Amino acid sequence: MRGEMIDKTSGRKAVVLGIVGSMRRMGNCELFVKAVSKHIPLAHDLRLVRLGDLNILPCRGCYACIEAGTCRIADDLPFLIDQIVAADALIIASPVYFLGTHGNVKRLLDRAFAFFSALERLPRKPCLLVNVYGMKDRIGASPQALLTLASFLGLEVRASVGVKAALPGDILAARKSRDAAQRLGLLLFGGKKAATQGRACPFCGNDIIRVRRLDFMCTLCHGSFSFDGKGRPVKGKPGWDVGNIGFVREHRQWLKGMKERFLANRKELVRLALPYRDMGRWVEP
């Protein structure tokens, strides 16, 4: 068990980083992260980051991170990267807004290539992904966003769960939620990974899939599969090996190739775009 190894060999407490996507102080995301921490049997230091308190600016699409491995934007992202590198495990929690993850999480995900320089220091850290939703079964696409973020950080997803709670504090009132916090606390550093609920991609466990003519395609790893007569998944062509930093390197190389392609055809592309430069009128407040 990774946590026990930390305790015995280094003599220090493990560091668990809770990344909270919600803006609410003492909201359900924050409370659930703390409830999970309470049930982690390993002595640990719980550190908390509220994404909304950080100055994480939108990605500019400049491709500087593709070459340098770091982002040229001067904001709080390097601080967050350092916190993730220093952690031994992570709990990432986000509320579900309009059937998607909170914008704070999406903004971070859009900057994921800025983590290139740190990937070698993120050796499959265990993590828990928590989606807090209010209406029954209305969890939307939020789980996929958190899974994508964890995959591009090379994290080992121990469990990806949805927890129903709408009003502030609801998450502590429900016995089912309290039991889930206990189960996840025990799971983070040891035990088997949580089984995927329902039908999901047999390659990566993502349960948001694209329906094609003869089979299905995972919207995360893009592997193809079908189901047999008993509803069991049958693997087809595998896609990305998400969670393995090799797939992130592969994606980076593809982007480098696209940049080189653009530079090689830049004059022609600029010529085609130039007639559109002054079209329309930008409206500002």
Q: What is the pLDDT of residues 178-201, one digit of tens each?
A: 999 999 999 999 867 765 556 788
Compute the distance between CA of residue 21 and CA of residue 144 in angstroms, rounded to an integer.
15
- DSSP assignment of 157-202: EEEEEEEE--STTHHHH-HHHHHHHHHHHHHSSSSPPPPPPSS--T
Give the pTM: 0.86
Distance of CA 274 to the CA centre of its chain: 38
Q: Identify the CATH homologous superfamily for domain 2-195.
A: Flavodoxin domain (3.40.50.360)
- The pLDDT assigned to 6 comes to 55
- The pLDDT assigned to 136 comes to 86
Report whether pLDDT(9) > 80. Answer: no
- The pLDDT assigned to 229 comes to 86
CB atoms within 10 A of CB 266: 10
Report whether pLDDT(5) > 80. Answer: no
Residues 6+ apart with CB under 8 A from 212: 224
Mean pLDDT of the residues in the chain: 86
Structure tokens at 21: 């996507």
Compute the distance between CA of residue 15 and CA of residue 278 in angstroms, rounded to an integer.
53
Q: Provide the b/e sequence for 226-235 (b: ≥16 CB within 10 Å).
A: eeeeeeebee
Structure tokens at 184: 């996840």
- The pLDDT assigned to 195 comes to 58
Average pLDDT of the segment spanning 142-155: 89
Average pLDDT of the segment spanning 94-102: 90
- The pLDDT assigned to 3 comes to 43
9 residue type, one letter: T
